[in-house]
């Protein structure tokens, strides 16, 4: 339940539930051997924070007053006021101490779902709430000169066990019920929960109820309840498990209190105390086992997430490697322009639409003049630099829609969409003139170079880019034959 409550509201809730549990214990079952309100106190602080201490204090004070009234004692004598004050202080201080111990793990949401947190923090906090409240609650009787029912030390021990067990049993159930309300349950989960509840109720009736002496079967032992409880711990939610723990304990408590079942039959004088010793360890073990499974599930989920992430990363790397390999297969490594394969694949994707729509487009075929002589005279490193410079100028004078490529050793090509013969020739002249102005320093000498260009424009008879390339090639040879360093149109 995520509703934000004001301090006075949640204090009234804590006080009312504390009082309700206390009255049920004292008036209905007429016992103090078991004290469920201790679980209410810790659950209230876990849910609402340390400001809920006032609800714990007021609930304790009211319960003690009710106890005196129910026992026909005057609650306003000095001794009884001192007992009330000490008990209220002890219960409040015990709850605050337990909350202080668990607060950090509670904020991390690992208190009841981590084995380490449960064993080292929560159970220790439950023991603390029992011992501190017992020292105040039983010790005050000795201070005011009233003898405790079964002696000071036994009283402290019994009170400590009672409150500690109440915190272990009732606190998780109340915490999860409130925190996770409402609880969405599927039909499958509901069926499992209903069947498990019926099984637990039936077992409790035979083990802790009036049917125990009627059946007199040797296998009717409290340990039988471990089977459904462990099933809940390993298969169901923490809410369901903690509620099953509370149900089993409540059934055993009522049965022992009414003179029924295993504990009363074997330990008639100390049935409730014996029962608490048994469940203190048994239900703690159930909570720990559930924490083991929750922790294991989280680790498996974390591992699965890591594996999925690794697979995703590997898939991405493979896809990237695939794209890189594809890019390398269509890219010239020296100039980073399209190679022959890449150029024709790219242009052929567009050529058909220009031809079918009868749109104009042009093609430039460039060839470096006397490139072999440059290689022979200055070396291949200088030749490579000449090729890179030419590619750079080709790209520099290209439009965003143009497609440039290197289709031979010193041969380049530029496809010009939506460019007529006049536009294509103007671009060719700009490229040629710019290259003519370039020089490369090799061995402290300036190396000049030029380029010849053939220009062709789309004609109605052109079915493929190759036919445009052939005409551009003829124009290129014409430029070569007429003295190089010029552009010619076919």
pLDDT by residue (tens digit) across 286-301?
A: 999 999 999 998 889 9
Number of helical (H) and strand (E) elements in the chain, helices listed first: 18, 7
Query: pTM (2 decimals)?
Result: 0.68
Residue 246 counted as domain residue: no
* 100: pLDDT strictly greater than 90: yes
Helix residue spans in 330-450 (DSSP H): 340-356, 371-378, 380-396, 421-436
Q: Which of 182, 207, 237 corresponds to the end of one domain?
A: 182
Rg (CA), the chain: 45
How many angstroms separate the Cα of 147 from the Cα of each of 69, 136, 160, 300, 475? Answer: 19, 14, 18, 56, 123
Give pLDDT tens digits for 14-32.
999 999 999 999 999 888 8
d(CA 142, CA 139): 5
Query: Is 72 contained in some domain?
Result: yes
Q: What is the mean pLDDT of residues 412-436?
A: 94
| pLDDT value of residue 58 | 97
Contacts of 453 (CB under 8 A, 6+ apart): 364, 365, 366, 367, 428, 431, 432, 475, 476, 479, 486, 487, 488
Average pLDDT on 162-177 reads 95
220 located within any domain: no
Please list the helix, strand and coil fractions of the chain in percent, rounded to the nearest 5, in that order: 70, 10, 20
Looking at residues 135-149, what average pLDDT do you find?
90
Query: Domain boundary residue among 152, 167, 182?
Result: 182
Is 193 among the domain residues? no
CATH number for the domain spanning 139: value is: 1.10.1760
| 238-257 vs 271-329: helix crossing angle, rounded to 10 | 170
Mean pLDDT estimate for the chain: 91
**CATH for 421:** 3.30.70.270
- What does the pLDDT look like over 34-91, one tens digit per residue? 899 999 999 999 999 999 999 999 999 999 999 999 999 999 999 999 999 999 999 9
Residue 284 located in a structural domain: no
pLDDT at residue 308 tops 70? yes
Alpha carbon distance 197, 350 (integer Å): 72
Predicted confidence at residue 273, as pLDDT, reads 87
Please give the backbone phi and psi of residue 331, each rounded to the nearest 5 degrees, phi first. -120, 140
Strand order in the sheet with 361-368: 403-406, 411-417, 361-368, 451-457, 487-489
> Each residue of 362-408: pLDDT tens digit?
999 999 999 999 898 888 899 999 999 999 999 999 999 999 999 98
Report if residue 267 sits inside a domain: no
Q: Of the candidates 117, 152, 182, which is a domain's last residue?
A: 182
For residue 25, the enclosing domain spans 1-182
445: enclosing H helix or E strand: strand 445-448
Phi-psi region of 452 (alpha: psi -120 to 50; beta: other; left: phi over 0): beta
The pLDDT value given to residue 486 = 95
CA dist., res. 169 & res. 245, Å (int):
6
pLDDT > 90: percent of the chain: 68
User: In this structure, is residue 469 part of a structural domain?
Assistant: yes
Q: Is the pLDDT of residue 1 over 70?
A: no
Question: Does residue 477 contact residue 411 with C-beta atoms inside 8 Å?
Answer: no
pLDDT number for residue 248: 95
pLDDT score of 327: 72
Provide the number of structural domains found in the chain. 2
pLDDT of residue 451: 96
pLDDT, tens digit (0-9, with 9 covering 90-100), for 437-483: 998 887 788 899 999 999 999 988 888 889 999 999 999 999 999 99
Q: Does 428 fall in a domain? A: yes
Task: Check whether 2 has a pLDDT greater than 70.
Answer: no
Percent of the chain exceeding pLDDT 70 equals: 99
């Amino acid at each position: 339940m995520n509703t934000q409550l004001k301090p006075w509201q949640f204090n009234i809730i804590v006080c009312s539930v504390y009082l309700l549990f206390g009255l049920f214990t004292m008036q209905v079952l007429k016992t103090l051997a078991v004290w469920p309100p201790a679980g209410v106190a810790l659950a209230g602080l876990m849910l609402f924070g340390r400001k809920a201490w006032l609800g714990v204090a007021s609930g304790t004070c009211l319960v003690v007053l009710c106890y005196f009234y129910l026992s026909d004692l005057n609650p306003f004598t000095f001794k009884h006021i001192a007992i009330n004050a000490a008990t209220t202080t002890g219960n409040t201080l015990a709850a605050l101490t337990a909350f202080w111990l668990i607060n950090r793990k509670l904020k991390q949401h690992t208190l009841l779902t981590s084995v380490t947190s449960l064993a080292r923090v929560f159970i220790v906090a439950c023991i603390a709430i029992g011992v501190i409240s017992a020292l105040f609650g039983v010790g005050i009787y000795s201070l005011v000169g009233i003898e405790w029912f079964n002696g000071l030390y036994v009283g402290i021990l019994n009170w400590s066990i009672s409150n500690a067990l109440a915190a272990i049993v009732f606190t998780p159930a109340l915490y999860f019920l409130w925190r996770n309300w409402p609880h969405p349950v599927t039909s499958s989960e509901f069926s499992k929960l209903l069947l498990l509840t019926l099984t637990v109720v039936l077992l409790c009736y035979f083990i802790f109820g009036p049917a125990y002496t009627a059946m007199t079967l040797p296998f009717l032992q409290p340990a039988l309840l471990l089977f459904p409880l462990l099933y809940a711990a390993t298969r169901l939610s923490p809410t369901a498990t903690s509620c099953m723990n509370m149900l089993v304990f409540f059934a055993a408590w009522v049965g022992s209190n009414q003179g029924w079942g295993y504990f009363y039959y074997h330990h008639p004088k100390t049935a409730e105390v014996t029962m608490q010793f048994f469940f203190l360890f048994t239900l703690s073990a159930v909570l720990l086992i559930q924490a083991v499974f929750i922790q294991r599930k989280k680790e498996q989920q974390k591992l699965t997430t890591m594996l999925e992430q690794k697979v995703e990363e590997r898939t991405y790397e493979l896809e990237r490697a695939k794209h890189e390999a594809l890019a390398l297969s269509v890219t010239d490594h020296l100039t980073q322009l399209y190679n022959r394969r890449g150029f024709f694949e790219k242009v052929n994707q567009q050529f058909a639409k220009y031809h079918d729509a009868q749109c104009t487009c042009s093609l430039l075929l460039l060839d470096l003049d006397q490139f072999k002589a440059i290689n022979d005279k200055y070396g291949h490193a200088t030749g490579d630099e000449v090729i890179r410079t030419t590619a750079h100028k080709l790209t520099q004078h290209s439009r965003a829609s143009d497609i440039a490529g290197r289709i031979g050793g010193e041969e380049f090509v530029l496809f010009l969409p939506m460019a007529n013969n006049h536009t294509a020739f103007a671009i060719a002249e700009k490229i040629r003139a710019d290259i003519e102005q370039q020089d490369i320093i090799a061995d402290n000498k300036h190396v000049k170079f030029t380029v010849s260009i053939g220009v062709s424009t789309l004609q109605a008879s052109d079915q493929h880019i190759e036919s445009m390339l052939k005409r551009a090639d003829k124009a290129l040879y014409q430029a070569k034959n007429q003295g190089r360093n010029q552009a010619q149109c076919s």
